[in-house]
Structure 1
Amino acid sequence: MKSRRLLIMVSIVLAMLVASMDATITNTTMPVIAEELGGYSLYAWSFAAYMIFSTVLTPVAGRISDLYGRKKIFAFGISFFLLGSVLCGLADTMLQLVLYRAVQGMGAGFMLPFPLIIAGDLFSVEKRGKIQAIFSAMWGLSAVLAPLLGSLFIEVASWRWIFLINIPVCIVALICLLGYKEEYEPRKASVDVWGSVLFAGGVSLVLAATTVERLPWMYASLGAGLLWLFWMVEKRHPSPIVPLPLLKLPKIKWMIINSFLACAALYGTSSYVPLFLQHLNYSVFVSGLSLLGISVGWMASSVPAGKWVLRYGYARLLLASNLTLLASGIMLLFLGPSTGFIYVTLALTVQGAGFGLLFTVTTIGAQQLVQASQSGISTSLQMFSRNTGTAIGVTIMGSLLLQSEFMLGIRSIFIYGTLASCLALATIWFLRDRSDTLSTSQATVK
């Protein structure tokens, strides 16, 4: 049993590693790729295509896994990501690369929720903090390794190996998954096809509005219209892709809102702090190392979080996590020309502790406060809210940075982050509950 669980962990950790790395590995290499393939006008879409589809399909994958089982959908995601990686490695034009990155993003969308979902099926609440610490370490490792590996492949081989290296990793992940004996028994029902299409289309257009330079309001308006139609369809479908009663559970609803606001406030920090350090003449490698502070803080708080949930309940821990995030935002307000690497890394360590606690507690809540048949979609909605908040937050930060001189832009970014963290903190008021412990709050969804 232990060896089987170890193989499953290898599978989901490898899948998480390649999916997270491919979100950022092109950051340092895309100028070279665009120069070779041509088509600079599509430069931004090489990132957006992956981000949009990986974000949109996460809740869809979670819901389908509730209906048909985790193993099949996870294996499909790995296989589709593998296909997208092969196609990206063979691309001859920028248009092809953008389209193939979309395929890769679809595969990532069907992969990313399952480490948390499968861990929720296999491990007790007390152990999930340690398991999620491993997952967070993979995200931190990918943030540092991705740009370094990208640069290495450019120098010693070809940019195509950025994508082709995924082939053996995905094959190993699929082989390790073969021994997974699923403990969760899916409750089959008809798939909400129209709801899935409307949801994917609506959210894709809204996220695209944060990327395009021309007529973003048109994308946002069309997306909002499709999401309204999606809402109407969901109210009538016998097995909706997003069960609306799930969003009526107060704790689930406010955890989703809090995760969205917290990520919109500060999760995009990792995109701009290395740029700040490079502005102070630190190397790309050293500026990337500062992000390890996030991983250190994340693991320090997420490992004991499972036991803390049993002892203190959700509201107290979410209050602590949001206060910690606010403290990190205030620390980042003081970034300036005299700020050194150690101070920045310390601020990111505090931030990592806040996000580690927030993500672990909300993930446990998403799985424990609903029936087993809703665990997949509930966990995926948490991830969706975080990813959407991050995408919007990064866009806002980018626009603030470009509107003024660099150091003033950096300060504007963290003024925004601190104020948005205050708003996220305010939502904890709605999570207060006298019976806020795991043992007394086993809510169900019919």
Structure 2
Amino acid sequence: MKSRISVLTSIVLAMLLAAIDTTILNTTMPLIAESLGGFSLYSWPFATYMIATTVLAPIAGRLSDMFGRKRVFASGIVVFLIGSWLCGLSQTMEQLAIYRAIQGLGAGFMLPLPAIIAGDLFSVEKRGKFQALATSMWGLSAIVAPSLGALFVEYLSWRWIFYVNIPISIIALLTLIPYREEYAPKKARIDYMGAILFAVGVCSLLLVTVAESNQIVYGLIGALFLVGFYLFEKRQASPLVPLTLFRNKTIRWMNVSGFVGWAGLFGTASFIPLFLQEAAHLSVFVSGIALLGTAVGWMAASVPAGKWILRYGYRKLFLIGHLLLAASGVLLVLLNESHGFWYAFFTMLIQGLAFGLLSTSGVIGAQQLVEAHEKGISTSFMMFSRNIGTAFGVTIMGFFLTRTTDFMHGIHDLFMYGFIVSLLALLISFLIKDRREELGTGS
């Protein structure tokens, strides 16, 4: 029992670190760019972190299947610690972008492992509670990160937004020591070439979302490398991503549903605060508080989700989740200048219920419907599908906002896009078939 409490402390701290560092630069980046110079590279510390994190997540899951959860998770914390230290030492924007990539590599190992470890430690019913706890870390970071960044900038230095990660990372490592794995790793040869093809392909596709030019070139390079990755993996005895995983139709459509749903409306959190500041004239802090509706709804749906899966199956929960997501899309399309804090909070609450149900059901399904030695890669690939969807969705929403001079017209267009895509995700959820004989398996 003490071992479980200790490892729970470790993974919660790691999640909090990764969540905070995903958003803390939002409020401090203008001052950092002024301090280091190089405004032309303003977006790259965000982009390099996102790209590294997204690419490494499925690779981390596969490595955890091969070498054990504890070893891979600890490695991620160490890399994140080193990256944080280097970020604090940055003297130029180029250095900061490179060091943020190192930090993102660590986060890429850290983010999927908590759900994988929880899948080893807890029953299906209890995993919903863990997912709620995980969500609370993201909700907490939404409030803490901007405030913490502002305090460090005002009273110490922007460098402390990175240095503060070091003691917390050390505590996360120390509390991981008592953990004794119940999962027996399945040794296999590392698929280095598959990892390279996959990394280059995904990086190129993500560059399409952040680069200011040559998007077509990056897109073609990404597509070619991913086709090469697919052809190469088909011939491997121990592939990085077992393609047999996607012969399971439930797993396949859960991943597609995650990509489409997250591409549709997960980016809402990036634009609701902007709307509340520009149209409703609320403060930065109050507009951020509105996002707590997402965390509240997510936690409310996540806690009982494990029991609901056993009672109702995956398909019904995915249908309900996507119906709620589409309902939030309707509210967003109807958004106008007369709407203020409580309308936004309620909308985000509905969206939180949707994503809480979809996220928890997807993660548990990714673990329950595969063999034990595929649990890591299945879980992390589910998260990868959502991350890729988020990256493309936010970029498309940003395009709708910036292509017009009328702010509210842009807001309406980007949320109309999100609503339409959420309807597509709802249709895809009808393709998910329950395999009820497998719902009670696993630990």
Are positions 1:281 and 2:298 aligned together?
A: no
Q: Match of 1:351, as an amino acid?
A: Q
SS in 2 for 1:190: coil
1:69 is matched with 68
Q: What does residue range 195-214 of structure 1 map to in structure 2 within 5 Å?
A: 195-214=194-213
Q: Match of 1:215, as an amino acid?
A: N
Q: What does residue range 201-280 of structure 1 map to in structure 2 within 5 Å?
A: 201-279=200-278, 280=280
What value does the CA root-mean-square deviation take over the aligned residues? Answer: 1.1
1:12 is matched with 11
- Structure 1 position 438, deviation (Å): 5.4
1:101 is matched with 100
- Structure 1 position 437, deviation (Å): 2.4
TM-superposition CA deviations, 1:338-382 (whole Å, max 9, x none): 001011000000000000000000111000000110000000000
Q: How does the TM-score come out when normalised to structure 2?
A: 0.98
Are positions 1:170 and 2:166 aligned together?
A: no
- Structure 1 position 209, deviation (Å): 0.9
Structure 1 residue runs of 4+, over 3 Å off?
438-443
**Counterpart-to-counterpart distance in 1, 2:253 and 2:17:** 31
- Structure 1 position 429, deviation (Å): 1.9
Q: What does residue range 395-406 of structure 1 map to in structure 2 within 5 Å?
A: 395-404=395-404, 405-406=406-407
2:350 is matched with 350
Cα distance change of structure 1 residues 262 and 36 upon mapping to structure 2, 3 Å threshold = same
Q: 8 Å contact 1:258–1:427 — kept in the other structure?
A: yes
Q: What does residue range 14-413 of structure 1 map to in structure 2 within 5 Å?
A: 14-279=13-278, 280-404=280-404, 405-413=406-414
**Counterpart-to-counterpart distance in 1, 2:437 and 2:5:** 27
Q: Match of 1:402, as an amino acid?
A: T
2:433 is matched with 432
- Structure 1 position 212, deviation (Å): 0.4
Count of aligned pairs:
440
Q: How does the TM-score come out when normalised to structure 1?
A: 0.97
Cα distance change of structure 1 residues 440 and 79 upon mapping to structure 2, 3 Å threshold = closer
**Counterpart-to-counterpart distance in 2, 1:61 and 1:268:** 25
**Counterpart-to-counterpart distance in 1, 2:377 and 2:82:** 25
Q: Which runs of 5+ in 1 are unaligned?
A: none
- Structure 1 position 44, deviation (Å): 0.8
- Structure 1 position 149, deviation (Å): 1.1
**Counterpart-to-counterpart distance in 2, 1:267 and 1:55:** 16
SS in 2 for 1:236: coil
User: Which of 227-236 and 308-317 deviates more?
Assistant: 227-236
- Structure 1 position 442, deviation (Å): 6.2
Q: 8 Å contact 1:369–1:441 — kept in the other structure?
A: no
Cα distance change of structure 1 residues 319 and 296 upon mapping to structure 2, 3 Å threshold = same
Q: Match of 1:334, as an amino acid?
A: L
Q: Match of 2:209, as an amino acid?
A: T
**Counterpart-to-counterpart distance in 2, 1:178 and 1:394:** 38
Q: 8 Å contact 2:264–2:422 — kept in the other structure?
A: yes
TM-superposition CA deviations, 1:396-417 (whole Å, max 9, x none): 0001000111111111111001
Q: 8 Å contact 1:309–1:438 — kept in the other structure?
A: no
Cα distance change of structure 1 residues 440 and 117 upon mapping to structure 2, 3 Å threshold = closer
Q: 8 Å contact 1:367–1:379 — kept in the other structure?
A: yes
- Structure 1 position 119, deviation (Å): 0.4
Q: 8 Å contact 1:84–1:103 — kept in the other structure?
A: yes
**Counterpart-to-counterpart distance in 1, 2:205 and 2:440:** 35
**Counterpart-to-counterpart distance in 1, 2:142 and 2:239:** 35
